[in-house]
């Protein structure tokens, strides 16, 4: 059996944001795990998110001699929340309720894919 985190990471490499849904209570589960954090059931089905969502919370993190970047909690339309960053917009302009869409980019330290969010102009 493949560990849920490995399935999640291989999804990122394939350009998919994967999450789980509990077969018993039908709640979305994220980060991937072996039992449902809502009801404790152990049958979780992997699904692929559209990447569409909205900013639940955000802050601008300042760094010496660099522009601030955003750290945001994103509520995905499928019913789960994840932490990421919003790109394509100044960190101070990321507001609660902003509609965003996920995209994939490699990280600078280990070249693994990660999900970032960009304002959804659609």
Examine the domain organization and report whether 61 and 31 are in the same domain.
no
Distances in Å between the Cα of 98 and the Cα atoms of 13, 29, 73, 74, 115 are: 26, 23, 11, 9, 17
Measure the CA–CA gap between 80 and 33, rounded to whole angstroms. Answer: 14
Q: What pLDDT, on a 0 to 100 scale, did the predictor assign at position 87?
A: 96
Range of the domain at 111: 52-119
Mean pLDDT per 10-residue interval, the chain, length 122 residues: 84 93 97 95 96 97 94 98 96 97 81 90 67
Q: What pLDDT, on a 0 to 100 scale, did the predictor assign at position 24?
A: 97
Residues 6+ apart with CB under 8 A from 53: 74, 75, 76, 77, 99, 100, 101, 102, 117
Residue 61 belongs to a domain with what CATH number?
Answer: 2.40.50
Q: What pLDDT, on a 0 to 100 scale, did the predictor assign at position 109?
A: 66
DSSP state of 86: B
């Amino acid at each position: 059996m493949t560990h849920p985190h490995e399935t999640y990471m291989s999804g990122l490499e394939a350009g998919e944001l994967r999450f789980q849904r509990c077969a018993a209570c039908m709640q979305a589960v994220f980060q991937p795990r072996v039992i449902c954090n809502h009801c404790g059931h152990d049958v979780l089905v992997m699904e692929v998110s559209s990447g569409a969502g909205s900013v639940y919370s955000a802050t601008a993190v300042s760094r010496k001699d660099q522009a601030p970047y955003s750290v945001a909690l994103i509520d995905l339309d499928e019913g789960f929340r994840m932490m990421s960053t919003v790109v394509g917009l100044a960190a101070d302009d990321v507001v609660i309720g902003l509609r965003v869409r996920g995209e994939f980019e490699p990280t600078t330290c280990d070249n693994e894919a990660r999900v970032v969010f960009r304002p959804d102009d659609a």
